[in-house]
């Protein structure tokens, strides 16, 4: 599949992740009487990845996340030479998703970007007031675990066809844990889209939501092969089978 087509698939998938996930937080989380709340937002993010994994997984691999692409490259599952195209497509898709969400959200009387627009933050801008260190650890560890789920569920020895379910539910669980901490990023592109519209504090704190997820992803990319590699004898048996 040509790189341009795969990059376009990543654009569409990341657009859907930001529009669907952040859209659930901005438009529906606290809607009068029928708000979906934290559980609904967490599930929405998981569903965006689950649905896109089946829609474009066979085209681009459905990374939708610069940290995922970098982690897969670190684990030798993805060529590093293609990282710039994938990351650019993901970031542009995230910005486009946030732009469409802004057009819709701003159509409601009283809409104000001061509400955060689903941006990620630490300290005073953490939903629960968590410190910079707490948010750094949260984003690093949770992205590490997200990549471990991705690498494990897509391993050729794992049950076939179920990776999207594991990855989608994994992302749901991650949001259930960390929405109160950072509003959950584990994805630099997802953080960048809303931050560009909020500006100010959101842009000033954006560095954390690039550094921590990518660090966690790289660690997972190095750790998973170390614990999951087959001995030479077992590889021979698998090949023979």
Query: Cβ contacts of residue 72 below 8 Å, gap of 6+?
Result: 61, 63, 78, 147, 150, 151, 221
35 vs 142, more confident? 142
Whole-angstrom distance, CA of residue 110 vs CA of residue 133 = 34
Nearest to 67 by CA among 224, 226, 220: 220
Which of 144, 145, 111 lies closest to 216 in space, CA to CA? 144
Q: Which long-range contacts (CB under 8 A, 24 or more apart) does 76-79 make?
A: 76/221, 76/225, 77/151, 77/154, 77/221
- Separation between Cα atoms, residue 121 and residue 114, nearest integer Å: 13
Q: Is 155 exposed, middle or buried (0-12, 13-18, 19+ CB in 10 A)?
A: middle
CB 63 within 8 A of CB 12: no
Indicate whether 111 pLDDT > 60.
yes
Q: What is the pLDDT of residue 29?
A: 84
pTM score: 0.92
Q: What is the pLDDT of residues 130-188, one digit of tens each?
A: 999 999 999 999 999 999 999 999 999 999 889 999 999 999 999 999 999 999 999 99
Report residue 105: phi and psi, to 5°. -65, -35
Q: Which of 74, 75, 67, 93 is nearest to 6 (CA)?
A: 93
Secondary structure of residue 180 in the 3-state scheme:
helix
Tell me which residue of 63, 41, 67, 69 sits closest to 175, measured CA to CA. Answer: 41
Q: What is the pLDDT of residues 40-98, one digit of tens each?
A: 999 999 999 999 999 999 999 999 999 999 999 999 999 999 999 999 999 999 999 99
Pick the CATH number of 3-236 from 3.40.50.620, 2.120.10.30, 3.90.1150.10, 1.20.1080.10: 1.20.1080.10
CA-based nearest residue to 146, from 55, 237, 238, 45: 45
Question: From the CA atom positions of the chain, what is the Rg in Å?
Answer: 18
The one-character DSSP state at 2 is: -
């Amino acid at each position: 599949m040509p790189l341009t087509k795969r990059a376009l698939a990543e654009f569409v998938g990341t657009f859907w992740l930001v529009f669907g996930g952040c859209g659930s937080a901005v438009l529906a989380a606290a809607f009068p009487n029928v708000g979906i709340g934290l559980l609904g937002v967490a599930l929405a993010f998981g569903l965006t990845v689950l649905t896109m994994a089946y829609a474009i997984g066979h085209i681009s691999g459905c990374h939708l996340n610069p940290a995922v692409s970098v982690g897969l490259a670190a684990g030798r599952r993805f060529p590093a030479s293609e990282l710039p195209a994938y990351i650019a497509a993901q970031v542009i898709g995230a910005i486009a998703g946030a732009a469409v969400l802004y057009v819709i959200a701003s159509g409601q009387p009283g809409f104000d970007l001061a509400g955060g627009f689903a941006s990620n933050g630490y300290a005073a801008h953490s939903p629960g007031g968590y410190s910079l260190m707490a948010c750094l650890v949260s984003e690093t560890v949770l992205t590490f675990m997200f990549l471990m789920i991705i690498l494990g569920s897509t391993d050729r020895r794992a049950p076939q066809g179920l990776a999207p379910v594991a990855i989608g539910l994994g992302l749901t669980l991650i949001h259930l844990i960390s929405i109160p901490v950072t509003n959950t990023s584990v994805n630099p592109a997802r953080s960048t889209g809303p931050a560009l519209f909020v500006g100010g504090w959101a842009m000033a704190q954006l560095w954390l939501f690039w550094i921590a997820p990518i660090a966690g992803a790289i660690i997972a990319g190095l750790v998973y092969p170390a614990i999951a590699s087959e001995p030479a004898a077992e590889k021979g048996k698998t090949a023979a089978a």
